[in-house]
Amino acid sequence: MQFKSPPLIQALQRAMPRRGTLGKSHGLSYGQSPLLAAPTPAWRSQFLLGLVGLAFAGLLGRTLYVQAIATDFFKKQGQVRTVHQLELPASRGSISDRSGQLLATSVAVPSFWAIPGEVDADPAKRRALAAALGLSAEELQKKLDPNSRFVWLLRHASEQQLAQLQALKLKGVFQEREYQRRYPEGEAAAHVVGFTNLEERGQEGIELAYQQDLQGQDGQRAVVRDRLGRIVEDVGERVPAVNGHDLALSIDAKVQYYAYQRIRDAVQANGAKAGSVVVLDTLSGEVLALANYPSYKPDERQHLSGAQLRNRALTDVFEPGSTMKPFTVSLALDSGRVRPDTVIDVSPGTMTINGATISDAHAAGALTVAQVIQKSSNIGTVKMALQMPARELHEMFSAIGLGQRPDIKFPGAVTGRLRPYKSWRTIEQATMSYGYGLSASLFQLAHAYTVFARDGELIPVTLLKRGSAEPVPGSRVFSAATARTMRQMLQTVTAPGGTSPQAQVAGYSVGGKSGTAYKQEGTGYNKSKYRSWFVGLAPISKPRIVVAVMLDEPTAQFHDGGRVAGPVFAEVVAQSLRLLKVPADLDVKAHIQAAVEPASTSFWSLQQASVSNLSSCQGLTC
């Protein structure tokens, strides 16, 4: 079978020269090609010329639009792609104690970021990058999303990580300087100072309370970057950073650290859930220590719990129990209803009001008002309280700061609970007189005791260092004579025969009141759980500090405030007064001898251990 070529192919074959002809002739007659001889319509060339003309017109219009009409828009887009605003981070203000010792400071540290689309794609280098960052290959791949133009690889690199990342010299990975917060005092001052997040914004404590003062204002620097992220030149004026203000706290770092150690040891020794200590300067109203346990390390917050973060001295409220008795008795003394030697019948150790029974821990037949404080008699206190209108008690409780938020700039400080007196029943007035039916924080309780230290005045307190060493004025609650008399009574509590001899301090006269209360759960009390505390002042002859100690749920041998919180009070007082260079006001040898001799039940005979006659004290100059 033979196949014939198509007619067009046959025509081309006829038109082509035979073999060897091209070598003999120097060209072809293309005019004889049947393809070129075919007629071409004129509209085709005109159509093509029109298309070319329209294309040039479009380009000309686009050029006119870009260069003349939308100039600002395209300039802006060009700047977005080449000009970058770099933040010049402000250094956060430092936080120091009253003597200038740093509690929080910022240090410059390297951080690393990347342009994902430009990061070196070599598998080996990416594996090395993931190892340096502490990430798996999958985590790194997810982080380097090619659709992103910026990603943080590592914030606040360690020295080891810095060396590893710099050695890799990866394309598309850049180093930036940031600031990281450091806390030299660690756990001891954590609840006071607080901490910041990665952006150095305060999250807790003083860092949060004074965020605006500490933060400062970041500056700006406009630069042109090339496609590799390198800075080519600066553009415009640089706006310098304004660093944050430094803060000097009233806290004494040494007192704070010692108080933290003592409450930590006491919590562990007594099998307690938690504990707190507050130390106040009675001259200036400055907070010298505010310690809590359990605590945390502000630099290591990976596994924090709410129990660690709580500043219990300010955020936890409780019924203060017997620590309220001195205020009730002071009101009775101040109003002239009783004198220190007024005898009150407390037999048979119980009394019933509105169907509820009130009892004393130890029954007694008759006690003087001074002995009501010394022996911590509920019945003696109630009998004095019921002689007074409810309004008077309520006004006194309000005057010492109960039911009100402490006037300090600190997050989480609570108000406590003090119900309006018009709703009190007789039994409620009775129980409030010895600390049940109202609530307060340990900080509020410590603040209230400045009334006795400052001759009847409640002084304002602060967490910031005061500029003046002069005693701050306060608001009058009791007369100076009543406050001095109550100081003497409080001293008998720590003397032999009192409820808290464990609170005595060698060389210093001290006084205070212990408290032990069942923990309230729901509408009732759990009689297997206690809060124990001791609040007092020293030296009695010329008070310089108020110290309040609280332990939550002690489960060891003892649970009463005198034996659980009293020793912590004694240790903190002794160390604090030495650090403040307060001279001893008792003869140590005579003090020890008096402590081991049989105690007299006479209030006035217990004052003989004091160096000076307290009844002759006038204000803070005695």
Contact 280, 259 (CB under 8 A): no
Q: In angstroms, what CA-CA distances link 519 with 377, 422, 524, 558?
A: 20, 26, 9, 16
Beta strand 350-353 pairing with 151-154: unpaired
Q: What is the C-alpha end-to-end distance of the chain, expressed in Å?
A: 141
Q: Other C-beta atoms within 10 Å of 388: how many?
A: 17
Q: Which residues contact 12 (CB under 8 A, 6 or more apart)?
A: 34
Task: Calculate helix-pair angle for 159-168, 123-133, nearest 10 degrees.
Answer: 170
- Taking the C-alpha atoms of residue 516 and residue 288, their distance in angstroms, rounded to an integer, is 25
Query: How far apart, in whole angstroms, are the C-alpha atoms of residue 67 and residue 99?
Result: 65
Tell me how far the alpha carbon of residue 398 is from its chain's centroid: 28
What gap in Å lies between CA 498 and CA 233, rounded to an integer?
79
- Residue 261 CB-half CA count within 13 A: 10
Give residues with Cβ within 8 angstroms of 507, minimum separation 6: 574, 584, 585, 586, 588, 591
Phi-psi sector, 209: left (phi>0), alpha (psi -120 to 50), beta: alpha
Torsion angles phi and psi, residue 596, rounded to 5: -95, -10
Is there a catalytic annotation at residue 33?
no
User: What distance in Å separates the CA atoms of residue 362 and residue 377, rounded to the nearest whole number?
Assistant: 8
Rounded CA-CA distance 458/455 in Å is 9
| Torsion angle defined by CA atoms of residues 250, 252, 255 and 258, in that order, rounded to the nearest 10 degrees | 110
Distance, in Å, from the CA atom of 25 to the CA atom of 521, rounded to the nearest integer, reads: 119
Contact 261, 186 (CB under 8 A): no
**CA 491-595-542 angle, 5° bins:** 35
Both tokens of 526, joined, read 């759990």
Q: What is the dihedral of CA 116, 121, 123, 126, to 10 degrees?
A: -30
Contact 150, 172 (CB under 8 A): no
The per-type count for the chain, helices as H runs and strands as E runs, is 25, 21
Structure tokens at 43: 């509209």
Q: Which phi and psi angles does 236 have, rounded to 5°?
A: 70, -170
DSSP 366: E
CB proximity list for 225: less than 8 A, separation 6 or greater: 82, 83, 84, 231, 232
Spot the catalytic one: 322, 439, 441, 541: 322
Residue 430, helix vs strand vs coil: helix
Length of the chain: 622
- Residues annotated catalytic, as ranges: 322
